[in-house]
Each structure stands twice: as C-alpha cells, then as structure tokens.
Amino acid sequence: MNTKYAYYPGCSLHSTGAEYDVSFKKVAGKLGVELAEVPGWVCCGTSPAHSASHLLSIALPVKNLSLVETMAKDVVVPCAACYSRFKFATYEMGHDNKLAEDVKEVIGSSFQNKVKVLHPLEIFAQIPPDALKAQVKENHKDKALKVVCYYGCLLTRPPKVMQFDDVEYPMTMDKVLENTGYQILDWSYKTDCCGASFALSETDAVLTLTQKILKNAKEVGADAIAVACPLCHANLDTRQTDINAKYNTDYNIPIYYFTQLMGLAFGYSPKEMGVNKHLTEATMNV
C-alpha cells in the first residue's frame, strides 16, 4: 500500500475547519500514513469559480495538480468541495481536448493528468480493519456513541466523475467508523444537500435543508453526526441555534469530523482533536 501522499488542505482546513486538519494529520500519523503539504498551493475556486467561468474552474485545480505532479505522489484532499473540483478537473482534462489545451496555456505548464485524487476516507478504507481496531484504546469511553454518517452531496455525485462508493447509499465512512468502535445507525439523509456554499448568501436555504438532516438524525436516535467536509460541518454545526429559533425545535446534536471520532477512539483527548472548536458543544463524555 502506498502510504506517502501529497496533502492539499484547501482554504477551509487552514481556517474554519482547523480541527479537521489537526485530527486528520494525527490520525494519519498514527496509522503510518505520511502527508506532505503541496508547496505553494492555491484556492481550488470552489462554487464561485464554476459559476463564473468553466475554464477558470478547471484551471485553478489543475494548477494545484500540476504542483502535485512535481512531487510524484498521489494527492489526498479532505474537503469534499475541493475534492469534487479536483475530480472534475481530472475528468474534464481527459475528456475535452480543447479545454485541456486552454487550461495548460492559462496555467503555463504542461500537465500530464497522471495524479490520482483521493479523499481521506478512501485511504482509511484501504487499511485492514484489524489495523484500525488495533489502535482503538481499551478504555475508549464512547463505544456506546450512536453515530450517523453524513456524506453530503459532493463526495459521490456525479458518479461518472467521482467514482466514490455507491452514489445514493455510500458505506465507506460507516465502515471506517464501525471498525473504530462506534455504533453506526442507518438513516435516510446520507447524501442530501446541506445548502453547501449558501452559508453566507442564502442562509435561509441552509436552515431549511439542514433542519431536515438534523430531524432525521434525531428520529433514528443518533447522538452525533459524522461529516467529511468543512462546508457540511459549518452548516450543520453553526446553525443549530438559528434552526431552533426558526422551527421551534431543540436540536443540540454534536457534529464531528469523522477523523475526530477516529482520534478520540485512538486515545487522543477532545482538546487534541479540536472538539472545543465546535459551536454545538458535545455534551456526551467523549
């Protein structure tokens, strides 16, 4: 198994999703996965870029991939939004010759399109379950924590581009967390949209969509929701007070990055995993 990867944190993991960055690095280290941050990486452009120019939206991730190419490694991209833009970039570069030529001219480099883009979930899913279980601490307090896994929209869709697990009913995160000693519950909102990039512009849409996600999580009896994307985390974690005010509800469901849950099971303290950075505070004794 390849255990050395180039690491593209993206803008969020350096700011609003700092706890995802910290927990991913610690957990990866524990499992023998080496990460080297891509030097000089730039923003992937996210939704604003593809809403403004198709060419720009492919050029920005390809610029980053060309930097990765010089490192001769595959790249791991934890933010689902960046991951989606990177996958779109590799797909389009392979399917649209005219665009590929334009992109190379724009970024001023020859690009081979040889880099494989991976999400941390794909890397952890390759690790044998026993190796994961071996890291779980005996006295890990939250074996009883009931978790639902939320993948959001971009990890799996559209499948011909993403090629990540089953498009409507993925199981990768469920399995990784199950092997890390959590009780995983089945639910209906695994891949529904949380409002993604509308966080600051159309906040009401975020409230409408996340409310449904929280409702279903509560209905099935979840103590916590695990996520794999800083946008999902922000939308679900920071808006529960607003949702409660708008819908007259009393949601107080902690939202964890799946890497935080792994780290907690491996014996790291909540502080080391950045759990104290959440706005909806964890009330259970992790």
Binding residues for other proteins, rule: CB under 8 A, are 11-12, 14-16, 18, 40, 42-43, 45-56, 59-60, 63, 96, 102, 105-108, 153-154, 157-159, 167, 192-193, 195-198, 200-203, 205, 208-209, 238, 276-279
Q: Least distance from C-beta 127 to other proteins, angstroms?
A: 29
Q: Least distance from C-beta 26 to other proteins, angstroms?
A: 17
The residue (of 183 and 197) whose beta carbon lies closer to other proteins is: 197
The 3-state secondary structure of the chain reads CCCEEEECCHHHHCCCCHHHHHHHHHHHHHCCCEEEECCCCCCCCHHHHHHHCHHHHHHHHHHHHHHHHCCCCEEECCCHHHHHHHHHHHHHHHHCHHHHHHHHHHHCCCCCCCCCEECHHHHHHHCCHHHHHHHCCCCCHHHHCEEEEECCCCCCCCHHHHCCCCCCCCCHHHHHHHHCCCEECCCCCCCCCCCHHHHCCCHHHHHHHHHHHHHHHHHCCCCEEEECCHHHHHHHHHCHHHHHHHHCCCCCCCEEEHHHHHHHHCCCCCCCCCHHHCCCCCCCCC
The residue (of 14 and 116) whose beta carbon lies closer to other proteins is: 14
Q: Least distance from C-beta 66 to other proteins, angstroms?
A: 11
The residue (of 132 and 273) whose beta carbon lies closer to other proteins is: 273
The residue (of 3 and 51) whose beta carbon lies closer to other proteins is: 51
The residue (of 31 and 167) whose beta carbon lies closer to other proteins is: 167
Q: Least distance from C-beta 265 to other proteins, angstroms?
A: 23
Q: Least distance from C-beta 55 to other proteins, angstroms?
A: 5
